[in-house]
Amino acid sequence: MAAALALAERGRATTAPAPCVGCVIVRNGHVIGRGWSQSGGRPHAEAMALAEAGGAARGATAYVTLEPCAHDSPKGPKCSSLLIDAGVACVVAAIGDPDPRTDGRGFAALEAAGVEVVRAVHADAARRSMAGFLTRKALGRPFVTLKLATSLDGCIAMADGSARWITGDAARRHGHLERARAEAILVGRGTLEADDPTLDVRLPGLEARSPARYVLSRDGAVPNGWARLSSPQAIAELPGDFLLVEGGAGAASAFLTADLVDRLLLYRAPILIGGGCAALGDIGLADLAAAHGRWRLHDARVLGSDRLEVYERVRQI
Amino acid sequence: MAAALALAERGRATTAPAPCVGCVIVRNGHVIGRGWSQSGGRPHAEAMALAEAGGAARGATAYVTLEPCAHDSPKGPKCSSLLIDAGVACVVAAIGDPDPRTDGRGFAALEAAGVEVVRAVHADAARRSMAGFLTRKALGRPFVTLKLATSLDGCIAMADGSARWITGDAARRHGHLERARAEAILVGRGTLEADDPTLDVRLPGLEARSPARYVLSRDGAVPNGWARLSSPQAIAELPGDFLLVEGGAGAASAFLTADLVDRLLLYRAPILIGGGCAALGDIGLADLAAAHGRWRLHDARVLGSDRLEVYERVRQI
């Protein structure tokens, strides 16, 4: 399943509105087919892996990160039927597909045809992998990541606004990789006017993966190459399923106030600024007790001399 | 040496102006003597360990965290002579003793008497263990630890001042343990007046280890049980070799502005406050480049749902 999840990454940020799914077909301990969702979603991962496996798929086991689909489409046959027709003996799936056209029907069709189904393998990792798709299905909006780059005392700039540089090369490169994973990226009007940021992906081979640029602004014109988002609540209209909010403090606070941040990337440099610009303004917190229990650390790593912590919003969706 | 360093901890915060030293004597793979600096510094660790080893010390190896002293004192004979007279064959030491009465003379006397001397074993850990003593010798002042307890966005309180609680039980207990390691503790006048803190050690068995309480205040009376420190620059007059600065933002910023913080304890809760009280005010930073290269991460650990990071000031002393 870990290999299937890694394959799924190949479709990252290119498959919306479909999820990025990965599939590995194994027979007698050998991988005989690999697939991942192609641009726009089709072909599906299972179709691609089955095409590679050919006749060898008979009696094999298919590992797939999402329940095989159960609906015919003009763009291709349903994967549950493809797996049955190929004679696959067992399907190991990470999570079910909430799409109402499938939603358990894929598993049911497989089992009705005598295919063994194993569920919930690496389910957490799969939910993270497809968080954008799942959030769009459950909440009707993209999954939102907020990026903050601060000093140890929580400043995003000195009092005079200077912020180059707080974090080092490794952290900034990681930030660019996160941009490549998003379909849309947003800053506040203040940051746009102060920094004129390009928000592109400056990593070799990923230059073409720069997300669509948005500025959070109630009204007014925006520069060429930018679009305007009138409020955090309007994110449902954004393209794709992953939005990266890059600041500044105003935009970050607006999204947090609206409880529209699902994931927090906190890049921290080992420096103290003192009396600088705070990372956040008011986020509508009633009292300290209300602040607790909302964020759970998912990952922590060292990036050069900086540290990255990834927090996830504790939410039942 | 790790065992000797652990024994040294038994003298923590009770040996000033002497360092807290540990000693283990080993013969044929068996520990035959253990010692640590007693209250006020005497007996020294080596004298205690040799007393336990008795005649078995002949031909043994002594592990000691600091160079054995080379000066006679009315309070006891010099340890280099004690080790020679006991017939110890080898002395393994972590660091040299900068006390001008020893400063290499201990090692020289041992070697002149035919005792093998091995130097610089676990030197970094020993320097940390005796940081107070070494800082007092080198800079004429105690070693200063600054404690900050913040949210992820660097706030030490909500905008209305409420700060109970940001961190959880485990982090607060760890903070009490740090108090027990200090001989003096300090807060700013604002914190004293707002919070009326007791600053005592509320850990079973360590209640008697509460440090002497100081308030940072240019002038004015102080409550019973408190003393006044007129400025960070006046810390040379403080008792003991370890000062813990517990806040608030004013006191923290004053010590950082004076570059009188050697170690930073950063307790962080997984919460966002937004628009709260910043951990620090102005610390006299000229530009961002000047902020870099001053702090190095020494330790990071999880305390309940909170995280502790320990940073050390990069300083050559």
Interface pTM (ipTM) of the complex? 0.93
Are A275 and B264 within 8 A, CB to CB? no
Closest CA to A264 of A158, A120, A154: A154
Q: Which helix (H) or strand (E) holds B20?
A: none
Closest chain B C-alpha to A156 CA, distance in angstroms:
10
Choose the closest CB to B296 out of A270, A294, A307: A270
Q: Which of A266, A288, A296 is closest, CB to CB, to B164?
A: A288
Mean pLDDT (whole number) for B239-268? 97
How far is the CA of B45 from the CAs of A307, B7, B80, in angstroms? 40, 9, 12
pLDDT number for residue A304: 97
The mean pLDDT value for B32-55 works out to: 96
Cβ contact, residue pair B271, A291, below 8 Å: yes
Cβ of residue A69 closer than 8 Å to a chain B Cβ: no
pLDDT in tens, B198-227: 999 999 989 888 999 999 999 989 999 999
Contact B270 A311 (CB under 8 A): yes
**Tens of each residue's pLDDT in chain A, 317 residues:** 999 999 999 999 999 999 999 999 999 999 999 999 999 999 999 999 999 999 999 999 999 999 999 998 888 899 999 999 999 999 999 999 999 999 999 999 999 999 999 999 999 999 999 999 999 999 999 999 999 999 999 999 999 999 999 999 999 999 999 999 999 999 999 999 988 899 999 999 898 889 999 999 999 899 999 999 999 999 999 989 999 999 899 999 999 999 999 999 999 999 999 999 999 999 999 999 999 999 999 999 999 999 999 999 998 65
Contact in structure between B219 and B234 (CB atoms under 8 Å) = no
Strand pairing of A242-245 and A143-150?
parallel
Question: What is the full DSSP assignment across B247-288?
Answer: --HHHHHHHHHTT---EEEEEE-S----S-EES--------H
Per-residue pLDDT of B117-153, as tens digits, reads 999 999 999 999 999 999 999 999 999 999 999 999 9
> Which residues in chain A have their CB less than 8 angstroms from residue B256's CB?
272, 274
Residues in chain A with CB shorter than 8 Å from the CB of B299 are none
Q: Are residues A162 and B280, on separate chains, in Cβ contact within 8 Å?
A: no
Contact of B90 with B62, CB cutoff 8 Å: yes
pLDDT higher than threshold 70 for residue B267? yes
**Token pair for residue A175?**
């930030």
B22 CA: distance to closest CA in chain A (Å): 33
| Residue given tokens 């459950």 in the structure block | A138
pLDDT at residue A67, rounded to an integer: 98
Residue with tokens 């940051």: A191
Q: Which amino acid, one-letter code, is at B236? A: A
Contact A283 B275 (CB under 8 A): yes
A158 vs B contacts (CB less than 8 Å): 285, 287-288
Q: Which residues pair with B13 in a beta bridge?
A: none
Q: What is the pLDDT of residue B317?
A: 54
**DSSP string computed for B207-223:** GGGPPEEEEE-SSS---
> Residue B259 to residues A24, B233, B283: CA-CA distances in angstroms?
58, 10, 9
Shortest distance, CA A7 to any CA of chain B (angstroms): 32
